[in-house]
Structure formats: structure tokens, C-alpha cells
Amino acid sequence: MGWSPRAWVLERLDAWLTPEQRRLPPSERWRYRVLLGATSLLFALNALYLLAIPTYAPGERLPQALAVGVCTAAYGLVPMLARRRSSPTLAAFVLCAALSAGFILGTLPVDRPGAVSHAVGMLIPALAVYLLGPGRGFFFTAFLVLYAGLFHQLYHSGFGQGRPLFQDPGVWMSNLVTGLSLLMGWALSWLYSTVREESHTALEHALKTLHESEGKLLSLIESTEDVVIALDRQGRVVTANQTAKAVAQHLYGKALEAGSPLDWISSPGLWERFLEALKGNRTRVELPLSMEGRSWTLDVTFNPVREGERVVGATLFSRDITERKEAEARLSELHRSLVDVSRHAGMAEIATGVLHNVGNTLNSVNVSANLVVERLRASRAAGLERAVELLRENSSRLGAFFEEDSRGRQFPAYLAALSSQLTQEREVVLEELRRLTESVDHIKSVVSMQQQHARFAGVLERVEVPGLLDDAMRLHAVSFERLGVQLRREYSAPVSAVMVDRHKLLQILVNLLSNARHALLDSGRADKQLTLRVEQAGARLRIAVADNGVGIAPENLQRLFTQGFTTKKDGHGFGLHISALSAEELGGALRCESEGPGKGATFILELPIPVEGTVR
């Protein structure tokens, strides 16, 4: 850098100060500098003034020389007092007093117009206000104003004895203007000092606030266990917390020093993120590391540092998320296990429904089979066999048998009655066989349906929801019939098919119907009612299972799908939780609405409808 006059001057002024004074706050240090600088300039001014003394009248030369001598002696005391005192006030007082005394001694013998209008007088208010403050500065200024505006002319007029006081009004007016100018000099210096002090106070407050904020920020940065590093645009370290320094020492075997390049960001993936941060974007990356036979995962974030609109660097925040990643892996494995358990639970639920349905139907099959057996045992067919035997015995005399034998004469009537009995028996047996066939067909249908859905587990396919909802209802049909539940189907037509795992959706529907059955059973109502609703709402298909059963309390609605929460005495809090998870896996959502206990509940399942042309 080139030579700077300001730096050169300040260096010479500071050379006069003691080491303790150089460490003073800027405001105090500047008072010392101004004091010493003004003293140096006044020494130079005295030297020039000595050269001008011969130009004065012979009677004025001695007072002028006396004024210069007094001022020079006093000026010599100023640097010594400044170095020995902890405050520049005394030295400043001596300087201002000496300058005022020199001004008075130099102008008092001169009896000419404008004698007190010497420019040196204007230095006194300015220096006094800056070095001693407005109050003390006003003392010197007021003294000079009285001297220049009044005492100087009083002295030369002999206080009215040597000549009239106002013999020359122009001189009085000139001196009065000089006094007013001195007052204006003090006022301007006071105004500047006040503005400067306010600015200085505001600056000190701002600096104090900045230092406090910086201290809090540094304390916060140091208190965190995360790595915090500030970098410039070249990737050099500006500052780093203790955690960062410890990690660098552990991983790379060397300390982080300000100004040194950070080796970390040369790792694959980090340098690109750093460059992205320099463009003004916040970036984040997970960095896997392997050291000492152990795998680590670091979460690294770069944030741009701005000065106005310009990015001047970036901050690096990093933390060890190895435990979190391991926990996430365990959670993922647990979730997969939970899904498997859910699938098995759903299969068990469906199997239970199938067995329940088949069991109830087998009761009907058993009843019908017993009735058929009883009818056959009590059949009149044995009478027909005896009639045939009677005819065989009288085959050689059938004519005489029908005409002469009393049994023969009753034989036609007997056959007619027997025929009627056998016809009735056949109708009854056929009816029971029809019922038996229907029951067997129902069993076949339920088993076939279960096999059909189980076949597609885990495979996405287009599913017509109304048909699947009817299939789920069949698994509970006998139970709902026994409870006397009135079933209402409200299927909007047409509705779009959905692309889902058929088995998973069937699990959800079976579970919702099972919950509705329990709610209706526990309600004890005579007018039990179940409503199945399917409707399309924009790009979503909405399936609702509504009952007028026991209802749900408002405080339980938020916890209804939480694992382990249940209001049933024999419940396990698993079904609705799994159903909600399955709904999310299908891209949908499951929620519940209820006006409160005793007012029923509506479970609503929403599924996304595939966009035209995206399903293959």
C-alpha cells in the first residue's frame, strides 16, 4: 500500500502516548490525539508569530513577545501532563488557558480597530468545547466575549477617563461582532459535539449490541454438538467452533486454522454443494464415511453468507446422524414386519369371516339333510311295496281278487291315497334338497371368492369398488341378517375403477364392516342400520361405511387410528391402525366422523383414481 498522510500523523501522535493510553476507547484516545496535535500546531504558530513581532509598533513588541513566551511555556507542559495523567482534562485546561492568556496578552496592548478580531481567537471555543466539553468551553468563551466586546475598549479608554467611551462606534460594533462570532463558534462547536456524542453513543450502543449478539452467537455455536464452519468463496476457513476443530483433529489429524483450506469439501458431492451455496442456494447432503472399521453418516448443510445481494461465502453445518439412520433402518424393518403381520391379520380376519359364514351355512345344510332323512324314514313307499306283493300273490286271479276279495275292492282307493302321499313327500324332499343345494352353492361361492382375492395379494390391478364392497359384505351377511340390520347401498353410477392391491383393499373393507357390526351389536338398538356408500369426488373415490351404533367420543377421534388404542373390551387396537397404514400405502387416506356417543360413526376411505392413459 502507498504512503498515507493520515496514518503517518496518527502514528506520530500515538508515539507520545503511553501503552495504557493507546488501549483506551476510541473516544478518549482521540481526545489525546487532538490535544497533542493542537499543541504541536500551536508551537508552530508561535514560531511564525515570533517572526511577525518585529512588524509591530515598538511599544507593542514586548507584550507580544511576553504572550509568545507564556504560551510556549504552557504548551510545553501539555505533553508532560498528558502522559502522566489518566485523563487529558488537566492538560486540555492548561492548553485552553494558555491559548486564552496568549490571545489576551497579544491583543490587549494593540489599540487599533479589529485588534481583537484575530483569527486565533476562534480556535479557543472550538478546542475548549471538544477537549473540555460544552460547559467548560462556555466558561472560556464567555470570558473572551466579555474581553473582546467590552473590556478591551474599556481598557484603552481608561474606563472613560482617557477618552469618551463611545468615541469610535465602529470599533465598538466591530468588537461586539467579534464577541458574537466567538459565541457562534462555541454554539457551532457545541452543536457538532452534541451530534458527535449522540452518534458516538448510538455507535457504542450498536457496537455493544453487536458484541452482545456476537457473544450470544458464539456461545450458541460453541454450545452445540454440531459442526459449524464459516468459509469464504475459496473454501478457506473463516471461523469454526470447538466441535469442528475436534472432529477435524480426529478425522484428519490436523487442526482447523483460519485462512487454511477446508479439506472436507473436496469429498465427492460436497464441492458441488458448496458451489451451489455460492450461487445463493441452500443445499444439503448425507455423506457416508467409513473409518476405523465403523460406518458413519453425516448430514451436511451449506448456507450462503450474504453481504447485501453479494454472496461472500458459506456456512457448513454438519451432524452425526448415524444413530438416526440406524433407527430409521430398524423402523423400516419394523414397518415391513408390521405390514406382514397386517396381511396375516387381514387374512385371518377374512378367513374368520369365511369360516363364520360357512359354519352358519353348514347349520342350514345339516338341518336340511336331517329333514330329508326323517322324511325318507317316514315315507309311505313301504305301502307301495306291500301293494305290489299283494298283486303278485293274486296274479292268477286278479279279476276275482278285485271283484270278490274285500282287499281287492279297496285296492284302487288305496293306490290313489298312496300316490297322493308320495307326491307330497316328494315335494317336501325336493324343497329341502333345493335348500341344501343353495347352501352348498353359497359355501362354494364364499370359498371361491376368498380364493379369488387371495390369489391377487400384492399385485396392483383395476378394481371395481362396488363389487368388492359387496364381496366383503357377503363375508358378514349371515351375522348382519341375524342382528336384523337394515342394509342400504348407495352406489353412485358410474364410478371409476381404482388401481390398487385388491387383497389389501378387501382387508380394509372387511375390518370396517367388522367394526360396524360390533358397534351395532353393542348399541342394543332395534332399528340397526348400515349404509354402504360409494361416490366419486373429483380425482378421488370415496367409500363410506356408516352405522347408527354406539358412536365415538370426540376425544377419541384423534387417537382412533393410533396403534394399541381401542374402546372394545376384547380389542387389541390393531385393526384400524393397520387399515390406516394400508390406506396410505394405497395412496389414499382413512378417517372417521362421529357426532358423539350413541350417534353412530362413519368411516370414510378415499382412494386416488388413476389418470386417463396412465394405467396399463
Q: Place 362 in a pLDDT band, splitting at 50, 70 and 90.
A: low
Q: What is the pLDDT of residue 560?
A: 82
Question: What is the structure's pLDDT at 1?
Answer: 46
Q: Is residue 212 part of a domain?
A: no
Residue 131 lies in a domain: yes
Is there a single domain that holds both residue 358 and residue 466? Answer: no
Examine the domain organization and report whether 430 and 460 are in the same domain.
no
Q: Are residues 47 and 189 in the same domain?
A: yes
Residue 342 lies in a domain: yes
pLDDT at residue 291 in the model: 60
C-alpha cell of 127?
478546542
For residue 463, give the nearest of 341, 592, 591, 588 by alpha carbon: 588
Confidence of residue 602 (pLDDT cuts 50, 70, 90): very high
Binned at pLDDT 50, 70 and 90, residue 556 comes out as confident
Mean pLDDT of 177-193: 83
> Domains in the chain: how many in total?
4
Tell me if 486 sits within 8 A of 529, measured CB to CB.
yes
354 in the same domain as 247? no
Highest average pLDDT, of 146-150, 400-404, 437-441, 569-573, comes from 146-150
Q: pTM, whole model, 2 decimals?
A: 0.40
Last residue of a domain, one of 293, 320, 347: 320
CATH of the domain at 593: 3.30.565.10
Domain annotation covers residue 130:
yes
SS (H, E, C) 417-448: HHHHHHHHHHHHHHHHHHHHHHHHHHHHHHHH
- The contacts found for 299-303 with CB under 8 angstroms, 24 or more apart, are 300/270, 300/273, 302/273, 302/274, 302/276, 302/277, 303/277
Region 13-37 average pLDDT: 82
Task: Show the cell assigned to 321.
Answer: 446422524
Contact indicator for 94, 149 with CB cutoff of 8 Å: no
Residue 297 reports pLDDT greater than 70: yes
CATH at residue 310: 3.30.450.20
Cell of residue 180, nine digits: 458574537
192 part of a folded domain: yes
Give the model's confidence band at 568: pLDDT under 50 very low, under 70 low, under 90 confident, else very high.
low
Res 606: pLDDT: 92
Residue 294 lies in domain: 224-320
* 65-79, 165-179, 314-328, 439-453, range with greatest mean pLDDT: 65-79
More confident residue, 184 or 503: 184
Summarised one tens digit per residue, pLDDT across range 479-499 is 777 788 888 998 887 888 888
Q: Which residues contact 166 (CB under 8 A, 6 or more apart)?
A: 172
Q: Return mean pLDDT, the chain.
A: 77
Q: Would you say residue 213 lies in a domain?
A: no
Q: Does some domain include residue 215?
A: no
Read off the amino acid at residue 588: G
Q: Is residue 416 part of a domain?
A: yes
pLDDT digits (tens, 9 = 90+) for 513-545: 888 888 888 888 888 999 999 998 888 899 999
Residues 310 and 334 in one domain: no
Judge if 182 and 38 occupy the same domain: yes
In tens, the pLDDT along 316-336 reads 887 777 777 777 778 777 767
In the chain, what is the greatest distance between 2 CA atoms, to the nearest angstrom?
204
Other beta carbons within 10 Å of 312: 14
Task: Please determine, for residue 95, whether its predicted confidence score (pLDDT) is greater than 90.
Answer: no
Domain end marker among 393, 426, 452: 452
- Same structural domain, 427 and 473: no
Question: Is the domain of 158 the same as that of 13?
Answer: yes
pLDDT at 451 over 60: no
| Same domain (yes/no): 439, 343 | yes
Query: Which carries the bigger pLDDT value, residue 86 or residue 313?
Result: 313
Instruction: Specify the pLDDT at position 357.
Output: 56
Q: Identify which of 360-364, 376-380, 449-453, 458-462 has the greatest average pLDDT.
A: 458-462
DSSP, residue by residue, 168-225: -HHHHHHHHHHHHHHHHHHHHHHHHHHHHHHHHHHHHHHHHHHHHHHHHHHHHHHHSS
Q: Residues 253-264, buried b or exposed e (16+ Cβ, 10 A)?
A: eeebeeeeebeb
Instruction: Tell me what percent of the residues of the chain surpass a pLDDT of 70.
Output: 80
227 versus 567: the higher-pLDDT residue is 227
pLDDT of residue 615: 41
The pLDDT tens digits for 170-182 are: 777 888 888 888 8
pLDDT in tens, 206-258: 767 777 776 776 676 666 777 888 888 888 888 888 877 777 777 667 777 77
Q: What angle do CA 195, 201, 205 make, to 5 degrees?
A: 145
Residue 379 shares a structural domain with residue 286 = no
**578 and 477 housed in the same domain:** yes
Q: What is the DSSP letter of 239?
A: E
Which pLDDT value is given to residue 354?
A: 58
- End residue of a domain, out of 268, 301, 320: 320
Range ranked top by mean pLDDT from 164-173, 185-194, 403-412, 569-578? 185-194
CB 320 within 8 A of CB 296: yes
Cell of 197: 456524542
Q: Does residue 364 sit in the same domain as residue 498?
A: no
